[in-house]
C-alpha cells in the first residue's frame, strides 16, 4: 500500500519549484524517470497533440479532391499514434513544448499522408513519389519556395493542405535561432527517408533491386548492416524530431548535432522501424506489401539481429545529454510496439516478446503494460 501511495504522489507531483518570493515557477527539466515522463505525456503532451490534429482534421475535411481528402483523413485516423509518440521529444525543448509539438505533428502528418498516397498509387511512378517527398525537404528548409508537389498525378486539388503543413514546419524552424546548426543533419535524414519511400513504392519487381543498389552507396560506411536493415534505419523520423526539439531548447551546438545523428542513425531509428515491421508482418503478408522482417532467414536470426540493434542503441545513446530520457525512449519503443494488439496474432509472439523485454530493460516491461492499459482505456478518435 505504501508503494502505491508513493507512486501516486510522484505521478501527481507538480513540476514546480519555490522561488525566493515564495511563489512557484514551472520547471522544464527533462523527466528522468518513467513515471514522471508518462505524467507529462498524458497530462500535457497528448492533449496538445490532439489539439493540433483537430485543426489538421478540419483542414483535411475541406480538401476539394475526394481521393486526397480521403487519404488525408485516413492517415490521421489510422496513424495518430505516430504523432503522439513523436511528440514525446518535445520535452527536450525545455519550455518550447508548444512549438516543438506544432512542428512534430505537422511533419509527421506530412509523412503519414504521403505514405498513404504512395501506398494507394496506381501509377507507381517514382517521379511522383520523389516530387511528393520534396515537400518534406522543403519543410526542413525555411525560405524554400513551395512547389506543385502533385504535378505527376491526376489528383491535385488539396485546397492548399500540403502547402500549409510545409509552411507550418518552416515557420517553427525559422523562429529557432540554432536551426542552421542542425540543418545539415536534419536534411540528410530527411533525404534518406525520401529515398526509401521512392524505392519501396515502385512496381513490385523493381523494389528489391532498387533498394539493394541504393544500399551499395552506403555499404562501406555500414558493413554490419544488410540492405533491408539499412532501409529500415532510414524510415524513421525520430532523429529529426530529436534534432528539432533540442534546437528549440536553445542549447544546440555543432558537436551535439553530430552526436544526435550518430546516436539515432542507424540503430535507434532501425530498431524503431524493425519493430514497426515486426508487428505488421501478418497484415503485410495478406496485402502483399514489402516487409523488411521477411528477409531474415529464420526467426532465430531475426531475434539475434533485434538484440544487436537493442544493444547498439543502448551504447550510442549513452553519449547524449539527458541519456536517461533517451534510454526511456529506447525501452519505450520496445514496450509500446510489443504491446500492440497485432502482436498477439503472430506465431511465436509470446517467446519473442518475453525475450525482447528481457534484453531491453525493466522500463520496457513498464511501458509494455502501461501501453496495454492505455489501449484499453483510450477513446476512439472520431473524424
Looking at every residue in the chain, the average pLDDT score rounds to: 91
How are beta strands 24-26 and 16-18 bridged, if at all? Answer: antiparallel
Q: What integer pLDDT is reported at residue 28 of this predicted model?
A: 65
Where does the pLDDT of residue 21 fall: very low under 50, low under 70, confident under 90, or very high at 90 and above? very low
In a domain, 140, yes or no: no
Joined grid coordinates for residue 87: 511528440
| pLDDT per position as a tens digit, 76-114 | 999 998 999 999 999 999 999 999 999 999 999 999 999
Asked if pLDDT for residue 23 goes beyond 80, the answer is no
Asked if pLDDT for residue 3 goes beyond 80, the answer is no
In a domain, 236, yes or no: no
Joined grid coordinates for residue 250: 536553445
Joined grid coordinates for residue 135: 515537400
| pLDDT per position as a tens digit, 158-184 | 999 999 999 999 999 999 999 999 999
In a domain, 222, yes or no: no
More confident call, 266 vs 8? 266
What interhelical angle do 323-338 and 362-377 show, nearest 10? 50
Joined grid coordinates for residue 260: 544526435
In a domain, 239, yes or no: no
**CA-CA distances (angstroms) from residue 191 to 51, 197, 200, 247, 382?**
29, 10, 14, 20, 33
* Domain extent for 314: 279-288+295-376
Task: Give the mean pLDDT of 135-144.
Answer: 98
Q: What integer pLDDT is reported at residue 58 of this predicted model?
A: 98
Domains identified in the chain, total number:
1
In a domain, 354, yes or no: yes
Return the closest-CA partner of residue 234 out of 213, 257, 247, 218: 218
| pLDDT per position as a tens digit, 193-214 | 999 999 999 999 999 999 999 9
Asked if pLDDT for residue 15 goes beyond 50, the answer is no
Q: What angle do CA 215, 200, 239 make, to 5 degrees?
A: 70
User: How far apart are alpha carbons 150 and 276 in whole angstroms?
Assistant: 28
274-286 as b/e: b if 16+ CB within 10 A: bbbbbbbbeebee
In a domain, 130, yes or no: no
Residues 6+ apart with CB under 8 A from 6: none
User: How far apart are alpha carbons 356 and 129 in whole angstroms?
Assistant: 35
Where does the pLDDT of residue 277 fall: very low under 50, low under 70, confident under 90, or very high at 90 and above? very high
Q: What integer pLDDT is reported at residue 18 of this predicted model?
A: 32
In a domain, 166, yes or no: no
Helices (H) and strands (E) in the chain, counts: 18, 2
In a domain, 132, yes or no: no
pTM for the whole structure: 0.90
For the chain, give the percent of residues with pLDDT over 90.
81
User: How far apart are alpha carbons 163 and 149 in whole angstroms?
Assistant: 9
Asked if pLDDT for residue 271 goes beyond 90, the answer is yes
User: How far apart are alpha carbons 67 and 267 in whole angstroms?
Assistant: 36
Asked if pLDDT for residue 9 goes beyond 60, the answer is no
| pLDDT per position as a tens digit, 314-346 | 999 999 999 999 999 999 999 999 999 899 899
187-214 as b/e: b if 16+ CB within 10 A: eebbebbbbbbbbbbbeeeebbebbbeb
Amino acid at each position: 500500500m505504501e508503494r502505491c501511495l508513493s507512486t501516486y504522489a510522484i505521478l501527481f507531483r507538480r513540476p514546480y519549484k519555490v522561488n525566493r518570493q515564495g511563489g512557484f515557477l514551472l520547471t522544464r527539466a527533462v523527466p528522468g524517470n518513467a513515471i514522471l515522463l508518462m505524467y507529462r505525456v498524458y497530462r500535457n503532451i497528448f492533449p496538445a497533440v490532439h489539439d493540433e490534429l483537430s485543426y489538421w482534421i478540419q483542414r483535411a475535411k475541406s480538401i476539394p479532391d475526394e481521393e486526397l481528402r480521403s487519404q488525408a483523413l485516413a492517415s490521421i485516423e489510422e496513424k495518430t499514434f505516430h504523432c503522439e509518440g513523436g511528440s514525446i521529444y518535445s520535452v527536450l525543448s525545455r519550455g518550447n513544448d508548444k512549438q516543438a509539438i506544432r512542428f512534430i505533428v505537422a511533419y509527421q502528418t506530412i509523412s503519414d499522408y504521403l505514405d498513404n498516397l504512395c501506398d494507394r498509387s496506381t501509377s507507381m511512378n517514382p517521379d511522383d513519389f520523389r516530387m511528393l517527398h520534396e515537400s518534406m525537404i522543403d519543410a526542413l528548409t525555411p525560405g524554400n519556395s513551395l512547389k506543385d508537389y502533385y504535378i505527376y498525378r491526376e489528383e491535385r486539388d488539396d485546397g492548399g493542405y500540403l502547402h500549409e503543413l510545409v509552411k507550418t514546419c518552416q515557420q517553427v524552424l525559422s523562429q529557432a535561432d540554432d536551426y542552421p546548426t542542425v540543418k545539415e543533419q536534419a536534411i540528410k535524414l530527411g533525404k534518406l527517408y525520401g529515398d526509401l519511400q521512392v524505392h519501396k513504392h515502385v512496381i513490385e519487381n523493381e523494389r528489391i533491386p532498387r533498394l539493394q543498389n541504393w544500399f551499395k552507396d552506403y555499404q562501406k560506411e555500414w558493413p554490419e548492416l544488410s540492405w533491408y536493415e539499412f532501409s529500415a534505419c532510414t524510415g524513421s523520423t525520430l532523429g529529426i524530431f530529436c534534432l528539432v526539439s533540442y534546437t528549440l531548447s536553445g542549447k544546440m551546438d555543432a558537436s551535439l548535432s553530430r552526436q544526435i545523428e550518430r546516436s539515432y542513425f542507424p540503430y535507434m531509428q532501425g530498431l524503431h522501424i524493425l519493430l514497426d515491421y515486426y508487428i505488421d508482418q501478418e497484415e503485410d503478408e495478406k496485402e502483399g506489401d514489402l516487409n523488411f522482417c521477411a528477409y531474415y532467414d529464420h526467426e532465430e536470426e531475426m531475434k539475434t539481429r533485434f538484440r544487436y540493434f537493442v544493444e547498439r542503441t543502448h551504447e550510442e545513446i549513452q553519449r547524449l545529454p539527458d541519456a536517461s530520457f533517451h534510454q526511456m525512449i529506447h525501452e519505450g519503443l520496445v514496450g509500446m510496439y510489443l504491446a500492440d494488439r497485432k502482436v498477439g496474432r503472430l506465431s511465436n509472439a509470446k517467446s519473442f516478446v518475453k525475450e525482447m523485454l528481457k534484453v531491453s530493460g525493466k522500463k520496457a516491461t513498464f511501458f509494455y503494460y502501461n501501453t496495454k492499459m492505455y489501449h484499453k482505456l483510450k477513446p476512439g478518435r472520431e473524424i
